[in-house]
Amino acid sequence: MERAPPAPIVGGSILKTPLVTTAAGRGAPGTAWARAGAGLRLLGAAVLAGLLAAGQATAREVAIGVFAWQGERAAIADWSPVIRDLNAALPEHRFRLDHYDAAGLRRAIAEHRVDLVITNPGYYVTMEAEFGLSRIATLAAPNVRSPDRAIGSVVIARADRADLPDLAALAGRRVAAVAPDAFGGWLIVAGELKRRGLDPESDLAVRFMGLPMNNIVDAVRRGDVDAGIVRTCLLEQLLDEEYVRPGDLRVVGARQEDGFPCATSTPLYPDWPIAVTRQTDPALAKAVARALLAMPDGQGLLSWTVPADYRPVHELYQGLGVGPYADLHRLTPEALARRFWPWLLGLVVLLIAGIVHTVRVEYQVHRRTAELRESLQARQLAEARMRENQEQMEHLSRLSVLGELSGSLAHEINQPLTTIGTYARSLLRRQDNRTLTPEALSQACTEIADEAERAGGIVQRIRHFARKRAAVREPVDLAAIAAEARRLVTGMLAHAPEIAIHDRSSPGRAVLADPQQIQQVLLNLVKNAIDAARGLPPARQAIEVDIEAAGSRVLVHVIDRGVGLDEAQRARLFEPFFTTKPDGLGLGLPICKTIIEAHGGRLWAEPNAGGAGMRFTFSLPCHELPA
């Protein structure tokens, strides 16, 4: 809608003759006269150029951009007196009127094509924020008492529309307005509607019809719309011009404003300002301000007053979130929610799903942990019971070994007791015969004491072996344990075979074990070896216990020359209750195997490589002793 290029309306023309220099002036060859004439011409040209330059400097052109809200003709008619007065007051400047529509004025300011701007308060506050416009005076309309309350909006409807008593009644109606950014032609009413709790954008069916505002008046009269929004005083102007007849239209929500000559539906805002741009020469701004304020009031002329307070306009725009506050409006939570509600909804759903998932996982983890804890406790309980059973079984096994040996044990203990009895009786007899010498007494008592000690030793070892106790781990001397086992066997058996112990283990290494359990294993293996050779010639009854180091392990072999076992028997050797003995339990070897494996070792059996019989071997891990 911009009418380009804007035409200068008032003011004289400027002489813009270009300064021309001739070829002679640049020193062409010629006579002295000719040279003198050329010099004079040059001087004349210089003087003329100086005058022209001075003229140009004083009559500088000043562009005043005005917002032509009622079109070109009205703008010229309205503002020409101002241009004329300024040209008269400041003859050193040539003021020119450039009229624009809203977008054109904005562009002209952005491109620095105007020095002064006259526009409505709404566009002024917008461009004040955007381009740093600065008002130097506010229009003081002759028939308005206060320039601070000079512009409002009037909502018009056909006279027969009694159903539209006030602005609130516009809800749901078709309403004509100028443009979304029009100050008097929309925004002032929009602000009022908002103040009444209506959403001007969605609660009304607004039709923007642009300028001139007469279009809106026509649309209302035709009944195309229910109501129309125009600037205050337009209605009175159209009545004057007889464009509208009295009784055609009525004012919706008319309100009384003191000292204001026109009908209005809204509160009033300050009048139009004249403003300078950031690029305007401050001296010019000051001169123009002074000239405008000095212009006389009255006589129907436009006069100016000190710049009004445009805060109400700012507040209106802020409330509506338009102009300089458009971004602010866009960023309010409500605006964001309105714009992005599907996303927000999705986000909320996701969030809820996340929370539900987390709670579910938490619950499951909790339940699973409780289950695990329970099963762990059950397992620990079962393990404790198993350990107890194991210990019980080991104990029983030890008692069983003792049981098997107990027949001979009675005989063994009987022997020293008999010897003691014999010595005691011989002492009594000698005393009766009075042949008891001190030497004989001393010898008999020594024998009695030795025999008593021997019997005591046997009982001691048996008690120690049979004792019930929990497993331990301590450095053990395998050769010593083997010797102890041998002592126990020979102590308990009347005719114990020869048991040879060969210790070939490395001295710097130690086995961590439970000595009593290892002794039990050895005793079991030795007892089985004795059983296997029972009744065979004495040469085959001999047993060997070999201890040897093998890398990080110690191997203990129990070798016999007994009856041995065939392959099928060997395969079942470590099965519980496998026995070939009429009074056997078949638990000795399985228990031995469990004990050795609990020590991290292994127990196995193979035919004796050196001839008849079996060779039982167990391995135990050993550790380097600290130097």
Q: Which residues bind ligand ADP (CB under 6 A)?
A: 524, 528-529, 532, 560, 562-565, 573, 578-581, 584-589, 614
The minimum distance between CB 399 and ligand ADP, in angstroms, equals: 13
Nearest to ligand ADP of 60, 557 (CB atom): 557
Nearest to ligand ADP of 519, 524 (CB atom): 524
Q: Helix or strand or coil: residue 103?
A: helix
End-to-end CA distance of the chain: 106
**Strands 249-252, 205-208: parallel, antiparallel or unpaired by DSSP?**
unpaired
The minimum distance between CB 522 and ligand ADP, in angstroms, equals: 13
CA distance 557 to 603: 10
Nearest to ligand ADP of 126, 524 (CB atom): 524
Nearest to ligand ADP of 90, 396 (CB atom): 396
CA distance 400 to 397: 5
Nearest to ligand ADP of 319, 586 (CB atom): 586
Contact 175, 206 (CB under 8 A): yes
The minimum distance between CB 494 and ligand ADP, in angstroms, equals: 20
> Which of 117, 136, 115 has its CA nearest to residue 61?
115
Nearest to ligand ADP of 62, 591 (CB atom): 591
Question: Please, which residues have CB within 8 angstroms of residue 465's CB and are 6 or more apart in sequence?
Answer: 398, 402, 488, 516, 519, 520, 523
Question: Please, which residues have CB within 8 angstroms of residue 83's CB and are 6 or more apart in sequence?
Answer: 9, 10, 11, 64, 95, 96, 97
> Which of 108, 245, 270, 256 has its CA nearest to residue 184?
270
Nearest to ligand ADP of 113, 540 (CB atom): 540
Task: Give the ranges where 467-556 is alpha helix by DSSP (H).
Answer: 478-492, 515-532, 538-541
The minimum distance between CB 564 and ligand ADP, in angstroms, equals: 6
> Which of 258, 6, 268, 276 has its CA nearest to residue 115?
276
The minimum distance between CB 612 and ligand ADP, in angstroms, equals: 10
Structure tokens at 517: 């359990």
The minimum distance between CB 545 and ligand ADP, in angstroms, equals: 13
Nearest to ligand ADP of 60, 570 (CB atom): 570
The minimum distance between CB 580 and ligand ADP, in angstroms, equals: 3
Handedness of CA 38, 44, 47, 48 (dihedral sign): negative
The minimum distance between CB 490 and ligand ADP, in angstroms, equals: 18
How many residues in total does the chain contain? 627
Q: Helix or strand or coil: residue 625?
A: coil
The minimum distance between CB 518 and ligand ADP, in angstroms, equals: 16
The minimum distance between CB 590 and ligand ADP, in angstroms, equals: 6
- Give bridge partners of residue 544 from the DSSP assignment: 500, 559
Beta strand spans in 7-142 (E)? 60-67, 93-100, 116-118, 134-140
Nearest to ligand ADP of 302, 563 (CB atom): 563
Structure tokens at 428: 């009594």
Nearest to ligand ADP of 324, 564 (CB atom): 564
**Strands 303-305, 602-607: parallel, antiparallel or unpaired by DSSP?**
unpaired
